Structure 1
């Protein structure tokens, strides 16, 4: 059998179930960007990166298993969750692998472009290189969303403004392409999500206008982008909780129910429960409405894992 890294799931009799519910194959996990609106706010866990050779083999094995078992992926399989995909960079021999390399193996082995949601390159050389490579080979991504928000730790600095402007300039050609992400077939390949609380909306819009000007868009392109929600979408910030409890964002919209639990149903764009394979080989169940993660167990009651040794 070609997909030996998945043997533990076969032995537990859950491979088909995991494939049908698979939403995440983590290249990286955990985040130290500390954006205040993010559930990762306050996370002090070291960032985890899956070695590129291991990630490549896992993507290969998952793709083979899909084909051999006649299962079609029901959603975009992403390489991140509460982390930023552009933070992925690992040494692979003499080569530094980035999110662009992750996107290539998604296209090759999983048959879909990689879906990216990022708060930007932060001026990091490897991240900017990844964005330039993506822009030059857009078939490797299904959609890229750049989040611009006053909740970013760099908000208000010249460095943040210029970094966002450069990222926009790099990705702007993707506005000319349609999305290939199955959850957004009518969208564009690139979108900016301008996330703020309602009382900071004007501040955010003013920043956006500045960034577009610095990005050097051709005449009329900035106005067109601001007026088209498929290009720039102004969104409210919800209190999704964080590692330290409630969101520290003032005036974030609460999604707590009468039972005190957060629950944001998005049945039109995501399945409630999805499986994720993590950099440590663990397989976990992710509650996409309540923003919680649970250990997945097999018929024996033992935690589910994949075999990273055979994937290396």
Structure 2
């Protein structure tokens, strides 16, 4: 089994599926922000963490943050979330990766069949500058003047914002969406949010625009905050409401709710992740096996 295990992991890292993500990291055509990948997997999460960390370090793109192992809300799905390689020589942001898997006892690691497990009929897809520019064109964003500035600043002193920060510090969860309605360009939201975070002593490494499957299963906008301190990733998910400058959402978006059922937020629950991991018969690789894989890919 040991030889088959090592060979199976090596084969995956050499597969077209994985090499397509490497292309996302090394291409120079446009700035990409985020990648989703979907696989069948039997390797334990701790081993996945070590494999990814070691792999990118050897490729000169050491991860610039911890990997979060989480459950994104879909049944039986676990993810290595916000895997973020960093190339100090690159002028482009390198897309952070969410590597989603479902446990399969008859494989080591294999790309999923996208008809069974994927997104938009694919098992790998990415969002970047051109996608987001086209996505945002559908909205008639309003200009922000002094009155709107005051309303936005008021939001970042609100109970909703303060509760959002408390959720990030809550040990029950390891990813968070703060859900708002707004009518102005989301990059303005980023500027106000970063300043509000600085005021409470938090620091953010990167903020990128993206989309996710939101209301009605359609793509919905969000700003992704890759925090340095605390080292957490949290998103402000937004819905365009033309007559509202900004407010906490008045209707449910998508995803798991916090323990108190407040639909103005979505979270990923550590307890559910642990239950899924313990339910299935994952293989934990030895350090020697991991080193052998990394020496051959």
TM-score range (shorter-chain normalised) is: under 0.3
Q: TM-score, normalised by structure 2?
A: 0.26
